[in-house]
Chain A
Amino acid sequence: MLADIRRFFTERAVLEVETPLLSHGIGTDPQLEFFTTEYCLSPTRHTLFLQTSPEFAMKRLLAAGSGSIYQIGKAFRNGESGRFHNPEFTMLEWYRVGFTLPQLMDEIAELITGLFSGRSLQETQRVSYQQVFGSFTGLDPLVFSYRDYCTFAEDSGLSEAVAMCGHDHALWLDFIFSHKVQPHLGGNALCMVYGYPACQSSLARINEHNASVTDRVELFINGIELGNGYDELVDAKEQNKRFDKELAIRQQQNSPVSVKDKRLISALESGLPECSGVAIGLDRLLMLLSGSASIDDVLSFPIRRA
């Protein structure tokens, strides 16, 4: 699998890069927990973070004029362990300068179907978040109707959602999508869901024609989330604003304090080229390629035995 991926990018003249796993800054995403470690250079001590994804470092390379790049490397997410999660995992991340999101989606489909060649993967599906959410739930994900969402939860045997989600639109979407939509996505096929609601934008840019959705895409096969891509946000001010907002949420939640990556902000200030990028969890891809039921089956030593 790794050799096939490298060949795919070599043929397309995308440069393989390596960026640090340890860094001074870290993502501010309130949903991602990170590992910290201590760097002792006597007499001083610094807290360093293990990267939750190579995104920031790769964007700094892009801003420095690297052109299209890809990386296969480890990423770390604290507290994530389960049938599809291991706190240390392998990620493929690539950025295409000058690509729009639909162009990147074409390339993703090419890569995935190439890796699955010889296995009977059905034709790739592309569907908007609003369409797919509506077809499985009858709800509109872009417009929050507390009453409709509650009724749907009660009728679907998920009444606990009402107390849990309250009036938090993003939380409702996470809950309903992961319980009632995602399991149906990509039955033996790659399914690409695009046009995520703006409240789930993260580092994607807002769609220029419709401000209620973002240019973000998620990949699914057999109901398993494989990856996540964006038409990248290049606006330093907007990025800084989102970081600050997320830092404030983290503080409210009493999550561990994160240090926003000022070097990323200054890289964006100096100019990130228009580009699209995507990250794919390679362990999960290997699960699908090998028909494994648990991520533990494709890891040499899962966290319990690491």
Chain B
Amino acid sequence: MAIYSTNEFKAGLKVMLDNDPCAIIENEFVKPGKGQAFNRVKIRNLKTGRVMERTFKSGESLEGADVVDVEMQYLYSDGQFRHFMVPDNFEQYQCDEKIVGDAGKWLKDQDSCTVTLWNDAPLAISPANFVELAIVETDPGVRGDTSGGGGKPATLETGAVVRVPLFVQQGEVIKVDTRTGEYVSRVKE
């Protein structure tokens, strides 16, 4: 794997730090006029998602991490593992629930999502920014409900619970922003 010097650190670069794959978020060059040059780097641990700051002497280097984002189709869950497939070559990956984490509640069979692979093993799953899911359970609406005011919880086919406006009915398909977990609109079938 390639070696990257602090000068090459830029947002999005994936490197190995303390044996974990990490992504660079920000890199600031700090140098006193008469003194050692440093790079103050903001970095995200891709395994834990934690963001930390770390300082390097300028010119130090880190090994690159073999991390790639691959668009995949979610196939099914066998109870223990979730299964994904690369649509281009039908290659399949399995991924345990711990790694899927919160993304799991947005995954519907056949939907596509982004799987982050580290050394060809799934590291993290990110659902599409917007997903369309059917409501399996919500309180029935009453006459006079409009878009204004309040809202009610609705359980979706994947198990996720989101707040929806009062006029939205059970059985309808809605569009949800997975980054905020918020209702966006109804979807006409």
Q: Is the CB of B34 within 8 A of A177?
A: no
Q: Is the CB of A175 within 8 A of B37?
A: no
Q: Is the CB of A83 within 8 A of B29?
A: yes
Q: Which of A83, A157, A175 has the most CB of B within 10 A?
A: A175
Q: Is the CB of A31 within 8 A of B37?
A: yes
Interface residues of A in 17-63 (CB under 8 A from B): 29, 31
Q: Is the CB of B53 within 8 A of A157?
A: yes
Interface residues of A (CB under 8 A from B): 29, 31, 79-85, 157-158, 160-161, 164, 170-171, 173-175, 177-179, 182, 200, 202, 218, 225, 227-228, 281
Known: A175-B36, A175-B38, A178-B35. A160 touches B28 (CB 8 A): no
Q: Which residues does chain A contribute within 8 Å of B129, judged by CB atoms?
A: none
Q: Which residues does chain B contribute within 8 Å of A171, judged by CB atoms?
A: 36
A-contact 0/1 string along B36-61, CB 8 Å cutoff: 11101000000000000111111000
> With the chains together, A218 CA to B36 CA distance in Å?
16
Q: Which residues does chain B contribute within 8 Å of A81, judged by CB atoms?
A: 7, 29
A82 to chain B, nearest CB (A): 3
Q: Is the CB of A158 within 8 A of B55?
A: yes
> With the chains together, A170 CA to B32 CA distance in Å?
12
| B30 on interface, CB distance cutoff 8 Å | yes
Known: A82-B28, A85-B29. A160 touches B55 (CB 8 A): yes
> With the chains together, A200 CA to B53 CA distance in Å?
27
The count of A-to-B residue pairs whose CB atoms sit within 8 angstroms is 64
Known: A83-B28, A160-B54. A200 touches B34 (CB 8 A): yes
Q: Which residues does chain B contribute within 8 Å of A227, judged by CB atoms?
A: 33
- What are 27 A-B interface contacts by the 8 Å CB criterion? A29-B34, A31-B37, A79-B37, A79-B58, A80-B29, A81-B7, A82-B28, A82-B29, A83-B29, A84-B29, A157-B53, A160-B54, A160-B55, A160-B56, A161-B55, A173-B35, A174-B32, A174-B36, A175-B55, A177-B35, A178-B30, A178-B32, A179-B40, A179-B55, A202-B34, A225-B32, A228-B34
B114 to chain A, nearest CB (A): 30
B101 to chain A, nearest CB (A): 26
| B31 on interface, CB distance cutoff 8 Å | yes
A-contact 0/1 string along B85-112, CB 8 Å cutoff: 0000000000000000000000000000
B5 to chain A, nearest CB (A): 10
B111 to chain A, nearest CB (A): 40
> With the chains together, A227 CA to B34 CA distance in Å?
10
Q: Which residues does chain B contribute within 8 Å of A179, judged by CB atoms?
A: 30, 40, 55
Q: Is the CB of A85 within 8 A of B31?
A: yes
> With the chains together, A145 CA to B58 CA distance in Å?
25
Q: Is the CB of A80 within 8 A of B34?
A: no
> With the chains together, A291 CA to B53 CA distance in Å?
26
Chain A residue nearest to B27 (CB atoms) is A82
> With the chains together, A173 CA to B38 CA distance in Å?
13
Q: Which residues does chain A contribute within 8 Å of B38, judged by CB atoms?
A: 174-175, 178
A34 to chain B, nearest CB (A): 14
> With the chains together, A80 CA to B30 CA distance in Å?
9
Chain A residue nearest to B53 (CB atoms) is A157
A108 to chain B, nearest CB (A): 15
Partner of B35, one of A79, A85, A160, A174: A174
Q: Which of B7, B28, B38, B53 has the most CB of A within 10 A?
A: B38
B6 to chain A, nearest CB (A): 11
Q: Which residues does chain A contribute within 8 Å of B55, judged by CB atoms?
A: 158, 160-161, 164, 175, 179
A-contact 0/1 string along B133-173, CB 8 Å cutoff: 00000000000000000000000000000000000000000
